[in-house]
Chains A and B, each alone.
Chain A
Amino acid sequence: MRKIWTLSLIIVGFALQAVSYLYWAAPLGTPTNPSFSNPVVPFAAGYFVLGVMLVFISAVVYELMPEEK
Chain B
Amino acid sequence: MAARTSNGLSYGVGRWSGGSVAFLGLSLMFVLLGIYAYSQQAIHGEVVTGLRNIGLMGGATWGLYVAFLVYFMGVSFAGITISAIVRLFDLKVLKPITRIAELMTIIALILGALTIMSDVGKPLRAILYLPLYGRPMSPFFGTFTIVISGYFFASLVYFYLNGRKDAAICAEQATGALKGFYQFWAAGYKDTPLERRRHEQSTFWLAVALLPLLVVATSTLGAVFGLQGGRPGWHSALQAPGFVILGGVSGIGHLIILAALFRVFTSETDKISMEVFKWLGNILMVLILLYTYFMVVEWLTVSYASSSHEGKISMALLSGRYAGVFWLSVVALLVPAVLLFTQFAQGKYTIGVAVLSGVLVNVAAIGKRYLIVVPSQTHGTLLPYGTGQYTPSWVEVSVILGLLGLGAFLYILFVKVFPIMEVADAGKGEM
Contact = CB atoms under 8 A, between A and B. Distances in A.
Contact of B132 (A42, A57, A64): A42
Interface in A43-69: 43-46, 48-50, 52-53, 55-57, 59-60, 62-64, 67
Interface string B126-147: 0000111111110001000110
Contact of A52 (B149, B160, B161, B199): B149
Contacts of B134: 25, 39, 44-46, 48
A63 B131 contact: no
Nearest to B146: A52
A44 B179 CA distance: 40
A48 B198 CA distance: 28
A8 interface: no
Interface stretch (B92-100, B150-158, B288-296): B150-158
Contacts of A57: 157
Contact of B205 (A36, A52, A59): A59
Chain B interface bracket (under 10, 10 to 19, 20 to 34, 35 or more): 20 to 34
A12 B160 CA distance: 23
A55 B209 contact: yes
Interface in B96-142: 130-137, 141
B137 A59 contact: no
A69 B205 CA distance: 25
B202 A63 contact: yes
B161 A60 contact: yes
Given A43-B132, A45-B130, A52-B153, A60 B137 contact: no
Contacts of B188: 64
Nearest to B156: A56
A62 B202 contact: yes
A28 interface: yes
Contacts of B149: 48-50, 52-53
Nearest to A20: B136
Interface string B183-194: 000011000001
A26 interface: yes
B39 interface: no
B161 A59 contact: yes
A56 B206 CA distance: 8
Contacts of A48: 134, 145, 149
A67 B164 CA distance: 18
A29 B194 CA distance: 50
Given A45-B136, A59-B203, A63-B164, 14 more contacts: A25-B135, A25-B136, A26-B135, A26-B136, A26-B137, A28-B136, A31-B137, A36-B135, A39-B132, A43-B132, A45-B145, A50-B149, A56-B209, A63-B199
Interface of A: 21, 25-26, 28-29, 31, 36-39, 42-46, 48-50, 52-53, 55-57, 59-60, 62-64, 67
Would you list the 4 A-B pairs with minimal beta carbon distance, nearest first? A45-B134, A46-B131, A49-B149, A26-B135
6 contacts: A25-B141, A43-B132, A45-B136, A56-B206, A59-B202, A64-B188
Interface of B: 130-137, 141, 145-146, 148-150, 153-154, 157-158, 160-161, 164, 187-188, 194-195, 198-199, 201-203, 205-206, 209
